[in-house]
Structures are given as structure tokens and as C-alpha cells.
Amino acid sequence: MEIEGKHALVTGGAVGIGLEITRALSAAGASVLVVGRDQARMESVARLTPRVTTFVADLTVAGDRERLIEHVSTGGTPLDILVNNAGTMQYFALTAPDAQNRIDRELALDLQAPIHLATALLPRLLERPEAAIVNVTTGLVYAPFGNTPAYSAAKAGLHAFTRSLRWQTRLSRLKVLELLPPTVATEMTARYDGPKIKPAKVAADLVEGLRTGRDVVRPGQTKALYVMARLAPGFLFNIINNAADRTPLD
């Protein structure tokens, strides 16, 4: 895919991995609509470059997702690349009094929102001569992290949905790409004391994956996780969850 001249939508594009994806796509010549719920961060990212515009929405709320879909569908601007990046990861015990509320919110943002947006905007993307849907999951789809149960479950579900979406659109010109980052140095992983890679590296790998037509992009340590999951899944699960023992819960 040629990035220059394309129109992209990046959810959660004002912070962490999403911010670096916004920067990388913009630097490659794409116009980027950034979606997020924090007005101040939206204003900050809008100052990056004239190629970036913003839309304030809480994607855990179905009505806000509908507003975004209407904005994209009726705005007159083409959509070539949808990047479902927005997500949250919470460390909590399933016995916590507010566990169900945490689960509901994480599933809404990490699973329901990307499925909703991908499904609603699919006809628009299929009209384009060259288009892509990028779903950001995680290397943890190969072995869940016990202290982040809702995040691990949601991303595993999004992994499965991405494969189904790719299969259903296999005869079209649409590229369905899954980005599986390892642990990345962002606000979301601040309490984790293991190795991390920089978000700019993840974004650069994504742009390269789009350019070369990849179906799956596994930055950094995710390549090793993928191999270990195939050869010794139980061993991988134990290694990951040894780290969980050292990560405090909320």
C-alpha cells in the first residue's frame, strides 16, 4: 500500500502507541483523524501537523461510536485506513468488588469498539481502490497475563475477529492487518518492570507492514512469543505469569 495521500482514522491516537502511529502515518504523507476522549490531548495532537484532525469521543459508549461513524460516513472525506488502537489494560483481582464494572469497560473499549467500527465502516473501505483495517492486539494473545484478565480476554477475542474479517474479505482489495505489540513503554505499562520496547518502533513496523502488504506484524519480543506458543505453550504461559506475580494489582 502507498501511504502518501491516504486518509486514516486512528483511535486512541493521541497517546502511547497510537500517538506514534499518528506521527508515523502523517510523516508518510497520510491525513489522520485522531479519535480520543481527552479534549486536552486532542488539542495537543492537532498541533502536530496540518495533516492531523481530531474527534472527541468515548468509544466505550455505543452512542459516541455511532457519532463517529456518522461523522466519517457523511463528512465527504474518504477513508482508506482504519486503525483500531484504543485500549485499556487494568490489573485487578476477579474477586474485587468492582471487578464486573472493570470487565465491562475493558470489553467495551478493547473488543466491542473495534468490532463495531470495523463492521460499520467496512462497506466504505471496500469501495476504495486500496484500503486497510489495522487491529492492534497484543503478544499476550499467545498466552494470557493472569493479572490483566479482561484485557487478555478482549485481545484474544479481537485476534479471532481479525482472522474472521480477513477471511470474509479475502477476495476484495482490503488488507486486514493485525499488529501484535509486546510490552511497550507507555503509561499503561508503567507498573510492569520487565523489558519494553519503544512505541515509535511499533509504529514504524506497522507502517512498513502496510507498505509491504503484511497480514500480521509482530514487533520485538512478540516474534519469540509466537514461536514459543507453537513449540511450548505451557512453558510460555508460566514464564509470562511469573512476571504477573511481581506486578501489583490495583
Instruction: Show me where the domains of the chain are located.
Output: 7-244
pTM value is 0.94
Centre a 10 Å sphere on the Cβ of residue 194 and count the other Cβ atoms it contains.
13
Identify each DSSP E strand in the chain by its residue range: 7-11, 31-36, 52-56, 81-84, 131-136, 174-179, 216-217
pLDDT in tens, the chain (250 residues): 999 999 999 999 999 999 999 999 999 999 999 999 999 999 999 898 889 999 999 999 999 999 999 999 998 889 999 999 999 999 999 999 999 999 999 999 999 999 999 999 999 999 999 999 999 999 999 999 999 999 999 999 999 999 999 999 999 999 999 999 988 766 666 566 666 789 999 999 999 999 999 999 999 999 999 999 999 999 999 988 987 666 667 7
Give residue 208's pLDDT. Answer: 98
Judge whether 25 and 32 are in contact, CB under 8 Å.
yes
Report pLDDT for 183: 81
For cell 492487518, the residue is 177
- Give CA–CA dist 185/170, Å, rounded: 34
29-32 contacts, C-beta under 8 A, 24 or more apart = 29/3, 29/4, 29/5, 30/3, 30/4, 30/5, 30/6, 30/80, 30/81, 31/6, 31/7, 31/77, 32/8
**pLDDT of amino acid 58:** 97
Smallest Cα–Cα separation from 12: which of 39, 37, 47? 37
pLDDT of residue 187: 67
Where residue 240 falls (left for φ over 0; alpha for ψ -120 to 50; beta otherwise) is alpha
In terms of phi and psi (left: phi > 0; alpha: psi -120 to 50; beta: otherwise), the region of 12 is left
Q: Could you tell me which residues are beta bridge partners of residue 53?
A: 33
Reference 56, options 45, 48, 44, 64; nearest CA is: 64
Domain 7-244: top CATH class: alpha beta
Res 177: pLDDT: 98
3-state DSSP assignment of residue 36: strand
